[in-house]
A and B are shown apart, each in its own frame.
Chain A
Amino acid sequence: MAELELVPVKTRILTDKDDIVDVIEEYAKDIVGPDDIVCSAESVVAITQHRYTRPEELTPTWQCRLMRRFVPGEGSMASLYGMQAAMNLEGEWKMLFWFIIGFLAKLVGKNGVWYAKCRQASLTDDVTGTMPPFDKCIVYGPDKPDEVAEAIKKRMGCYGACVADVNDLKRSAVLGHSRGLNPKEIARILINNPFGNASQKTPIVVIKNYAQAVREQKSETAAKENN
C-alpha cells in the first residue's frame, strides 16, 4: 500500500524577480515524480506575481474608514490598510454593498457572505502576514491560481499541482489546482501546515505517491464491490 508522504522543499527568499514555475523546477526537480502533487504556498505565488503593496502607498477611503471598525481586530480587514488594499482590487462600492448584505445575512444566521463575495477580503494578508522582507507589505491573493497550477504540472510532469492557503490554525484551502484534482481532499492532506512558518522558507510541498494511493484505493473499492 503506497503511503502519502509530505516533503517540504526549502528555497531562498523569493521575490517578484522570480518565476514560481522556474523556482519549483530549480528546487524540486529531483524529488518530484509522476505520481506526486506539487503544492505551492499562495502568498509566495502572489509575491512572485508582484501582488503586494505597502500601507504607505495606500490612501484610505471613507468606505474603508467606516467598515474596518466593524471587523474583529485579529483579521486583516480590521486594519485600515488591509481593508483599503482589498478595496483597491474589489472596488469600494462593491465591498460596502456586500458588507451591508453580509451584515443582514448574519442577522439571519448566514455567516461569511461578505468574504465569499469579495474574495480579496479573505485572501489579502495584512502586514506581518508573511516572511521578511515582505512582513512590511500587504500581500494579495494570487492571480489565476488555476493557470499557475497547470503550468507547474506541465513543467514538472507530475500528477497534479495546486496553490494552497494553509496556516497553523488548522485552516487549509486550495485556491487553484490543475485539472482532475479534488481541492477538498488536497486541503485535508495539507491541514497540518507542512509549509511551516515563514522563517522555515519552505513554500513548496510535494505530496509523494498521491496517484499511486488513489489507484490502490480505487482497486480496493472495486475488489470490495466484486465480492
Chain B
Amino acid sequence: MIVYQLLNIIIFIVGLIAVLYLLFRLFAWHQGDARFVIEARRRQPFALKSLTAGTAVFETEVPFKNIGKQLGTIMDFYPRTLLPYEQYDKVIVHSQLANKAAERNDGYWESVIINPGESGRIRVTIELVSKEGTIREDLKTFPDMPIDLVYQVVSRSEWYIHKARITLKASEVKRAMEQA
C-alpha cells in the first residue's frame, strides 16, 4: 500500500514538473525573440563614389529589420568579399561596412540595440585597387563578386552568427565606369 502511495506521489511530482515545463515552453514561444532580416534584395545599386588612376570605390546601402517580438543586439557586422585569384587577379579588394545611424569610417561596428519592428540601413563600401595602376582597363573584365554580410546577434537566446549575400555585379561596375 505504501509503495503505491509513494509511486502516486512520484508520478504526481513528475507530472507537475512536466506540465510546468510545457507551460514555460509555451510562454517562451509566445514571448518570442529578436529576428533580424538583412534585405539583400532591396539593396541600392552600387554607385561609384570615387575614381583615380589606380582605385575605384563603390558603395551601396542595404536595409535590415528586426521582425521578431523582442529587442536584439547586433554585436558585430562585417563584409567578406569572395574573389579568388583563380577567377580574377587584377585588383586588391578592400571592404568596409558601417551603420548608417551611427556613421564611422574605421570599419568598427559599435554594438547596437534594435527594437522589435525597428529597421536600419548599412553602408557597404568596396575599394578596388589596381595592381598595375590601370583601374579603368582592369575593371573591363571584372566578374560578379559575391559579398557576404556577416552579423552576430545576441538577444534572449544564444548568440549566433548569420550571413546574407549581396553581389557587386560586373554589369554595375561596367555601367558605373562608363558614366564616370
Interface residues of A (CB under 8 A from B): 55-56, 60, 66, 68-69, 73-74, 78-81, 126-128, 132-133, 135-136
Contacts and interface: CB of A to CB of B under 8 A. Distances in A.
A134 to B, nearest CB: 10
Given A127-B111, A128-B112, A132-B108, A66 B24 contact: yes
A201 B140 CA distance: 47
Interface string B29-47: 0010000000000000000
Nearest to A56: B159
25 contacts: A55-B154, A55-B159, A68-B156, A69-B24, A69-B27, A69-B31, A73-B71, A74-B71, A78-B156, A79-B155, A79-B156, A80-B154, A80-B156, A81-B154, A81-B159, A126-B73, A127-B73, A127-B75, A128-B73, A128-B111, A128-B113, A132-B108, A132-B110, A135-B110, A135-B111
Nearest to B157: A80
Nearest to A198: B110
A126 B154 CA distance: 10
Ranked nearest first, the 9 interchain pairs of A and B with the lowest CB-CB distance are A135-B111, A128-B111, A55-B159, A127-B111, A73-B71, A132-B110, A136-B75, A55-B154, A135-B110
A73 B70 contact: yes
B76 interface: yes
Interface in B2-53: 24, 27-28, 31
A39 to B, nearest CB: 26
Interface string B156-176: 111100000000000000000
A134 B37 CA distance: 26
B176 to A, nearest CB: 33
A126 B156 CA distance: 12
Which one of B154, B157, B158, B159 has the highest number of Cβ atoms from chain A below 10 Å of its Cβ?
B154
A52 to B, nearest CB: 13
Contacts of A73: 70-71, 156
Interface of B: 24, 27-28, 31, 70-71, 73, 75-76, 108, 110-113, 154-159
Contacts of B155: 79-80
A74 B116 CA distance: 12
A48 to B, nearest CB: 21
B17 to A, nearest CB: 12
Contacts of A136: 75-76, 111
Contacts of B76: 136
A69 B28 contact: yes
B124 to A, nearest CB: 20
Contacts of A79: 73, 154-156
Contacts of A60: 158
A127 B156 contact: no
Contacts of B31: 69
A79 B70 CA distance: 11
Given A73-B70, A73-B71, A136-B75, A80 B24 contact: no
A126 B111 CA distance: 11
A84 to B, nearest CB: 11
Contacts of B73: 79, 126-128
Contacts of A133: 108
Contacts of A81: 154, 159
Given A68-B156, A74-B71, A136-B111, 19 more contacts: A55-B75, A55-B154, A60-B158, A69-B24, A69-B28, A69-B31, A78-B156, A79-B154, A80-B155, A80-B156, A81-B159, A126-B73, A127-B73, A127-B111, A128-B111, A128-B112, A128-B113, A132-B108, A133-B108
